[in-house]
Amino acid sequence: MRVFWEKVGVLGPVYRLVGQGFSDRDIAEKLNLTEISVQACAAWILHFLGFTKRNELIRYAGARTAM
C-alpha cells in the first residue's frame, strides 16, 4: 500500500483526468492505481480547493486543463 507522500505524484494526473471527465475506474486503470486511491486523491483535491461537490471540481479542472 502506498503512503500519502508516494501518492502526491499522482495528484496532478488524477486532477487532469477528472477534468477530462474520466470515471474513477478509468483513472485507476490508466494510472495503475486502485479505485479507492483515486477516490482518496479526488477527495483531497476537493478539500484543498475548497469544493464540496465533484461536479465543481470537474468544471474547474476541465476549464484549467483546456487552456
Q: Which residue has the higher pLDDT, 45 or 8?
A: 45
Phi, psi of 34 (to 5 degrees): -85, 160
What per-residue confidence (pLDDT) applies to 5?
Answer: 52
Report pLDDT digits (tens) over 15-50: 999 989 999 999 999 999 999 989 999 999 999 999
Amino acid, res. 53: K
How far is 13 from 38, CA to CA, in rounded Å? 10
Architecture of domain 9-65: Orthogonal Bundle (1.10)
Amino acid, res. 32: N
